[in-house]
């Protein structure tokens, strides 16, 4: 590529970037609503983010594992969001700060099938809230976080296994 082509390409990219409408830009909720990210409970975080904590349990569908073998990587899927939703947020009550994520939804997008991975320190509830013109809809699910990544039941250590076998007088 010669210099003239590179300059034309660069100027073309700058022109196209300038045409991006402001409606496509997402809201930075950490700057706009910083108190929501410091809240210790889901209700406090929801109230700080949306201005109210009055919600209706319908319209939103959350998929999360019942048992998470690794609290550092828990897959969460927001399967259904009401039509007209402008913001969707995820909260949990297992970590010191309750807010996990907040998304701005463009009016022309299809607001279904969002997937993220979250961290949870211990067993707790995951809550997804959708804002439709000031009315809040939610769904929640309890996720059990197991220690050691073994799904709630682990094989005993070799030392414990040997001690159990000795106690049962299998070894002589």
Which CATH number covers residue 148? 2.60.40.2470
The two beta strands, 135-145 and 67-68, are parallel
Q: What are phi and psi of 64, to 5 degrees?
A: -145, 150
Q: Print the domain residue range for 43.
A: 24-167
- Residue 31, in any domain of the structure: yes
pLDDT digits (tens, 9 = 90+) for 56-95: 998 899 999 999 988 889 999 998 888 888 899 999 999 9
- Residue 1, in any domain of the structure: no
Q: Predicted confidence band at 153 (pLDDT cuts at 50, 70, 90)? A: low
- Residue 45, in any domain of the structure: yes
- Residue 144, in any domain of the structure: yes
- Residue 3, in any domain of the structure: no
pLDDT digits (tens, 9 = 90+) for 9-46: 666 665 555 555 545 566 778 888 889 899 999 999 99
Number of helical (H) and strand (E) elements in the chain, helices listed first:
4, 9
Distance CA 110, CA 91 (A): 22
The per-residue b/e assignment along 44-82, b for 16 or more CB within 10 angstroms, e otherwise, is: bbbbbbbeebebeeebbebebeeebbebeebebebebbb
Q: Would you state the structure tokens that stand for residue 168, as one six-digit string?
A: 């049962």
Number of domains forming the structure of the chain: 1
* 54 touches 134 (CB < 8 A): no
């Amino acid at each position: 590529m010669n210099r003239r082509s590179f300059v034309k390409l660069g100027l073309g990219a700058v022109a196209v970037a300038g045409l991006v409408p402001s409606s496509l830009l997402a809201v930075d909720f950490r700057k706009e609503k910083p108190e929501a990210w410091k809240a210790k409970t889901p209700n406090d975080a929801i109230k700080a983010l949306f201005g109210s904590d009055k919600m209706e349990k319908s319209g939103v569908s959350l998929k999360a594992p019942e048992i998470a073998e690794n609290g550092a990587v828990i897959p969460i899927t927001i399967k259904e969001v009401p039509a007209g939703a402008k913001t969707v947020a995820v909260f949990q009550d297992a970590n010191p700060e309750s807010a996990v994520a907040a998304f701005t939804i463009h009016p022309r997008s299809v607001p279904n099938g969002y997937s993220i991975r979250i961290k949870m320190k211990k067993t707790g509830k995951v809550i997804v809230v959708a804002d439709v013109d000031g009315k809040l809809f939610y769904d929640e699910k309890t996720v059990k976080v197991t220690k050691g990544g073994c799904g709630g039941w682990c094989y005993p250590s070799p030392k414990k296994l040997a001690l159990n076998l000795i106690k049962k007088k299998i070894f002589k």
